[in-house]
Amino acid sequence: MEENGFRPKGFPELKNDTFLRAAWGEETDYTPVWCMRQAGRYLPEFRETRAAQDFFSTCRSPEACCELTLQPLRRFPLDAAIIFSDILVVPQALGMEVTMVPGKGPSFPEPLREERDLERLRDPAVVASELDYVFQAITLTRQRLAGRVPLIGFAGAPWTLMTYMVEGGGSSTMAQAKRWLYQRPQASHQLLHILTDALVPYLVGQVAAGAQIIFAKDGHFALEELAQAGYEVVGLDWTVAPKKARERVGKMVTLQGNLDPCALYASKEEIGRLVQQMLDDFGPQRYIANLGHGLYPDMDPEHVGAFVDAVHKHSRLLHQN
Active site residues: 37, 41, 50, 86, 164
* CA atoms within 13 Å, Cβ hemisphere of 152: 23
The answer to whether 202 touches 138, Cβ cutoff 8 Å, is: no
**Residues recorded for the chain:** 321
User: Could you give the CA distance from residue 4 to residue 98 in angstroms, rounded to a whole number?
Assistant: 38
Alpha helices by DSSP H, 28-88: 44-50, 55-59, 62-75
Burial class for 254, CB neighbours closer than 10 Å (0-12, 13-18, 19+): buried
Question: For the range 62-67, what are the long-range contacts, defined as Cβ-Cβ under 8 Å and sequence gap of 24 or more?
Answer: 62/133, 62/136, 62/137, 62/140, 63/140, 65/134, 65/137, 65/140, 65/141, 66/137, 66/140, 66/141, 66/144
Instruction: Count CB-CB contacts under 10 A for residue 72.
Output: 27
* β-pair type (233-235, 105-107): unpaired
Q: Residue 16: is the preceding peptide bond cis (ω within 30°)?
A: no
User: Could you give the CA distance from residue 211 to residue 112 in angstroms, rounded to a whole number?
Assistant: 31
Distance of CA 32 to the CA centre of its chain: 16
User: Could you give the CA distance from residue 286 to residue 160 in angstroms, rounded to a whole number?
Assistant: 27
